[in-house]
Structure 1
């Protein structure tokens, strides 16, 4: 067996994310709690070609703004633990609502797969989803599946494999905000980049700071071992 890669599964509650996780990993999984948290942790593994994928089922959340322990755990894992690939599971019958989380993840990390689940239900409702158009507009692979029927699993696993082996390069298309916000990002991002380097997306950190996410400062300080003076540099950058 070759290399092992960590694959995170993110998604809103009731999108079939855990169904996908269970179907892929079968009995090769275990549960517990995240370190220092009461939030449950589920891990499992699956072998594919010459690799092994360790799947981490992140808590189901509607956003990653650290408004709850679940959101905090999911956000911190994606940003600081840096899984090799993050799969965002969407409900094909509620794409507009689900895309809020997907766009947040695309701002946080590069190697992302948008996995549209419940495609069989959507088709029964007359919903047609053009995954090729979405792929072009988002800059990352978009794959349609049915987790309960194990439809699309081969393509999903092959796409994961092609990303981790470098055959596919993901280039998420950044969300463009109103001019006033973009000007503020342009002003503070270079200062943020000096502090976080390549550890975290400087654009994403800049956005969160503009939104007043003070709790993020402590998390960055803890995960990247920054000194207290560095945290003050973030506040200076906002002035």
Structure 2
């Protein structure tokens, strides 16, 4: 799309994700139903430098395990629609709970920005967050913002810009599981890779199959198998 890029916003409910979306896009937004679903997605655009970032506000979810329509829609967009960058919005006052979703996204896709919102509220509560340490440990940029006060927006947009232009190379941390699970992943991942190729993470698909995620298998069969075969 030339200088146009798609940016997906993911996050738990009540993290300020939609506040961030509204503050960035202003009046440049619209809504539409996801194909075949009752879930409404908001989309908007942000001009930045010589580019246009198209933001997609995914449904707020606590996980991406396809236990609900919202989770399925959010998961499928990240995995199959392949946004140029996925922005995961976390609540600075509740990081431990929020990181569950963030770590799931890091397993699914490469170009991720962890956006820690409500940083002003956290500071009032005496919470200090070392974003540089988190960046080093997670392998992706971590940016602190206040969506309500529009604090940190320029750094956030500049970071997205540097990712889409290749100036920042994301290298998400790979979660390590107990030996028994890792052994099973090693057994089935080569077969999964034959099926999905480079379209999606074969390790992540292997994990989901070990967990018995039939909805993902159905989506892969519907979306990828005819193309791969």
- 1:39-72 deviations in Å (ceiling 9; x for gaps): 0110000100111000000000000000000000
**Aligned twin of 2:66:** 66
- CA RMSD, Structure 1 to Structure 2 (Å): 1.3
Matches within 5 A, 1:31-110: 31-110=31-110
Contact 1:13–1:62 (CA<8 Å) still a contact in 2?
A: yes
Number of residue pairs the alignment of both structures matches: 228
**Aligned twin of 1:11:** 11
User: SS in structure 1 opposite 2:87?
Assistant: strand
Return the TM-score normalized by structure 2.
Answer: 0.98
Contact 1:34–1:40 (CA<8 Å) still a contact in 2?
A: yes
Q: Which runs of 4+ in 1 moved over 2 A?
A: none
Distance, in Å, in 2 between the alignment partners of 1:91 and 1:120 is: 11
Distance, in Å, in 2 between the alignment partners of 1:83 and 1:49 is: 20
Distance, in Å, in 2 between the alignment partners of 1:180 and 1:168 is: 35
- 1:170-200 deviations in Å (ceiling 9; x for gaps): 0001000001101111111111111100001
**Aligned twin of 1:139:** 139
- 1:79-99 deviations in Å (ceiling 9; x for gaps): 000000000000000000000
Distance, in Å, in 2 between the alignment partners of 1:194 and 1:33 is: 33
Contact 1:7–1:86 (CA<8 Å) still a contact in 2?
A: yes
1:214 CA displacement: 1.2
Matches within 5 A, 1:15-26: 15-26=15-26
2:176 is equivalent to residue 176 of structure 1 = yes
Unaligned 5+ runs, structure 1 = 231-239
Return the TM-score normalized by structure 1.
Answer: 0.93
Contact 1:189–1:203 (CA<8 Å) still a contact in 2?
A: yes
